[in-house]
Amino acid sequence: MAAKGFPAEIERLRDEIRAHDRRYYIEDAPVISDTEYDRLLKRLQDLEAAHPGSVRPDSPTQRVGGGVATDFKSVKHAVPMLSLDNTYSADEVRQWHERVVKLLPKSETPAFVVEPKVDGLSCALTYENGLLIRGATRGDGEAGEDVTPNVRTLKNVPLSLSGRAPSRLELRGEVVMYQADFEALNASELKAGREPFVNPRNCAAGSLRQKDPKITAARRLRFIAHSFGVWEGGKAVESHTGFLDACAGLGFQTNPRWRKNGIDALVDFFDQFRELVIPNLPFGVDGVVVKVDSYAQQKMLGFTAKSPRWAVAFKYPAQQASTSVDAVEFSVGRTGTITPVAKVKPVFCAGVTISSVTLHNFDEIARLGLKIGDRVMIERAGEVIPKIVKVVGSSKGGREIKAPKTCPSCGGRILKEEGFVAYYCGNPSCPAQLKRTLLHFASRQAMDIQGFGEETVDQLVDSGRVSAIADIYSLPKEDLLKLALWKEKKADNLLAQIEASKNRPLSKLINALGIRQVGEKTAESLAEGFSLDELAAASPEDLRRIPEIGPVVAESIVGFFKAPEVKGLLAKLKKAGLNFKKMAPSAPAGSALAGKTFVFTGELSGMSRDEAGEKVKALGAKTSSSISAKTSFVVAGDSPGSKYQKAKALGVTILTEAEFLKLVNP
Ligand code: IVH
């Protein structure tokens, strides 16, 4: 709108320059050259000089305004600037999601927004009645530094808001320098004989914290909006996506973002984001931020002292790091196996500080050619435990790693089975073994006794209160209260957990017993075939009636239940009231293929073998990887293997893929 008495050209020029700023800085699609732009700006400056009364604070000429120096005065934020909780694995994000779902009423299904975690400097911009009145750094979150003259020079920060602006707005975002601008700046710094900047983030930080805003202005910084502290008046926003859209309408640059429904879609997206999105972003990114989209839901979730519960940052783990091996220690596993563990100089890798790395066994040490004192490359991929990939430098005085002669936990004799790589402790009552046994027993996949973790197990075993599994079920509360730092509430919680574990399905209990060769899946099949009393009395032949039980597993089970201490354990567990009952088969007995066993060989054209397996399981059948006379059907895809011959020899029914499909989709 042209003010009366001044040439209309002034306001036209301002609008034109703002539009070019927008094209250049926000849309990344300039339509004029820098020289043409400078000419427009010069023309405006001349006109304003001729008509001083026309000058307004939001004119593009006022970005570097009147030689005002930045004073870095402390300013208190209207609302504290919090930080985000960091996660480093899909599992942690899933845990976050579980908490979100738990905290929301059942009727609320959250949708999520994924956007880049911008690696810049947090800043807050305050607008009153549409005009930029302040820019402040984050500082300690409560108060930051006033950098108003500097943020005014950022060309993608509107000095006045367009559209239906809130009457009061405190907008938050990151100040960044694009990689390309950073490289250009460094090239000219080098040419001028000056030290180059370390990275775009440091450079942006240094550029924003300048006394002279002219220096900031020359640095091409940008502001990317991602949240707000205050939003009063204007268009009401009800979701994060709504907020981002409104910001764009007001003239701000915002993050690209993706809306996802459901945790699986969300987590699946992370890989794509890393591979396809991040490499194409012009600014530095150190992960992604996930936010619950709906503000109503955000409000229900609220905040912890430091961060919102409705948002989480997911950082992509760096993969490798180098460090050196200071020592090798030996840990004793549940079955007595001695595992060498390298103690390394603490190093930050994939989001965690690593100070010890398993070496698995002595063959691994030989394969790596590892000596104490060597420099090594370690690797950690997501949730996977860290490992040593290779030795990258041997030290002169490197010491050889020797197997211990006695158990590091109980001093018992160390044995090595002929033909096996592992050394093990031969003492059946070795406390290290007992601790591992108890931890496994109480673990989530087994009896799921929460609060029965490493610390508790250490306390219970070291104080002599637990010396066998069954002792868990006869722990008096008074004994718990005698342990260091145990209070009424903690003891009650643990006892309630122990009580609840008595009702776990039999499959969990079988898994919890820790029978060699019997994992979660086998435990399930066993629990569907036998009660625990039946299982304890089963012969190898009885066991082998279950399709996936072969001779080795059958022997291991029979051997386990033969031991007198196991008999004693079962008697005590039964007396304690644990659930020994056989489980109902996972598919109802009347299902079309109940009791049948399928083996797949060769490649199927319409689906993966896993999918085919899921199909038959849904119909009550089982799958197996090996053929026996008990196999009901062999499904032969393209170029079937030796299983096809074996099926023929045993007279097992062989189905083509088409026949199989008819059977499962009648
Ligand atoms: S939302 C409660 N969104 O990361 C904080 N923050 O560690 C809500 N950051 O201080 C902020 N990218 O400065 C949000 N897309 C994004 C972000 C982002 C970077 C910064 C922010 C915050 C820090 C948290």
Cα gap 296→32, rounded to integer Å:
44
Give a yes or no: residue 548 inside a domain. Answer: yes
pLDDT, tens only, 70-114: 788 999 999 999 999 999 889 999 999 999 999 999 999 999 999
The domain that contains 355 carries what CATH number? 2.40.50.140
Give a yes or no: residue 418 inside a domain. Answer: no
pLDDT, tens only, 290-316: 999 999 999 999 998 889 999 999 987
Q: How many domains does the chain have?
A: 5
Q: Are residues 304 and 228 in the same domain?
A: yes
Cα gap 518→553, rounded to integer Å:
7
Does the beta carbon of 186 lie inside 6 Å of ligand 1?
no
Q: Given 576, 609, 632, which residue is the final one in a domain?
A: 576
Ramachandran sector of residue 560 (left: φ over 0; alpha: ψ -120 to 50; beta: rest): alpha
Range of the domain at 358: 319-400
Q: Are residues 527 and 570 in the same domain?
A: yes
In 51-178, which ranges are continuous DSSP H helix? 90-103, 148-151
Most ligand 1 atoms within 8 A of CB, residue of 223, 289, 309 to mutate: 289
In 395-476, which ranges are continuous DSSP H helix? 431-442, 454-462
Adjacency order of strands within the sheet including 131-137: 131-137, 121-128, 168-177, 221-232
CB atoms near residue 269 (< 10 Å): 18
Give a yes or no: residue 152 inside a domain. Answer: yes
Q: Are strands 423-425 and 414-416 parallel, antiparallel or unpaired?
A: antiparallel
Give the closest residue (by CA) to ligand 1 atom 23. 83
Q: What is the pLDDT of residue 2?
A: 46
Q: Are residues 333 and 310 in the same domain?
A: no
Cβ–Cβ < 8 Å for 103, 304:
no
What tokens appear for 221 in the block? 């910084």
Q: What is the pLDDT of residue 587?
A: 61
Please return the burial class of 218, using the count of CB atoms within 10 Å of its CB with bins 0-12, 13-18 and 19+: middle
Cβ–Cβ < 8 Å for 517, 536:
no
**Annotated catalytic sites, by residue?**
117
Give a yes or no: residue 514 inside a domain. Answer: yes
Report the run of H or E that residue 614 belongs to, with start and end: helix 609-618
Ramachandran sector of residue 97 (left: φ over 0; alpha: ψ -120 to 50; beta: rest): alpha
Tell me the pLDDT band of 398, cut-offs 50, 70 and 90: confident
Beta strands in 315-358 (DSSP E): 320-332, 337-349, 352-358
Q: Are strands 121-128 and 168-177 parallel, antiparallel or unpaired?
A: antiparallel
Q: Are residues 601 and 638 in the same domain?
A: yes
Q: Are residues 8 and 152 in the same domain?
A: no
Cα gap 237→254, rounded to integer Å:
15
Q: Given 314, 343, 360, which residue is the final one in a domain?
A: 314
Tell me the pLDDT band of 150, cut-offs 50, 70 and 90: very high
Which residue bears the tokens 């599994």?
469
User: 0.75 exceeded by the pTM?
Assistant: no
Q: Are residues 294 and 436 in the same domain?
A: no
Q: Which residue has the higher pLDDT, 506 or 596?
A: 506
Q: Are residues 296 and 336 in the same domain?
A: no
Report the run of H or E that residue 567 belongs to, with start and end: helix 564-576
Give a yes or no: residue 80 inside a domain. Answer: no
Q: Are residues 138 and 198 in the same domain?
A: yes
What percentage of residues in the chain have a pLDDT greater than 90?
59
Cβ–Cβ < 8 Å for 369, 354:
no
Cα gap 602→83, rounded to integer Å:
53
Tell me the pLDDT band of 118, cut-offs 50, 70 and 90: very high
Closest among 79, 106, 89 to 230, alpha carbons compared: 79
SS3 241: helix
Cβ–Cβ < 8 Å for 391, 402:
no
- Ligand 1: atom nearest CA of 227 is 1
257 phi, psi to nearest 5 deg: -150, 160
The domain that contains 616 carries what CATH number? 3.40.50.10190
Q: Are strands 387-393 and 633-636 parallel, antiparallel or unpaired?
A: unpaired
pLDDT, tens only, 174-212: 999 998 899 899 888 877 777 778 778 889 999 999 989
Q: What is the pLDDT of residue 381?
A: 54
Cβ–Cβ < 8 Å for 63, 150:
no
Give the closest residue (by CA) to ligand 1 atom 14. 226
Does the beta carbon of 122 lie inside 6 Å of ligand 1?
yes
In the chain, the N- to C-terminal Cα span, in Å, equals: 73
What tokens appear for 367 in the block? 């394969």
Does the beta carbon of 84 lie inside 6 Å of ligand 1?
yes
Q: Are residues 178 and 243 in the same domain?
A: yes
Does the beta carbon of 256 lie inside 6 Å of ligand 1?
no
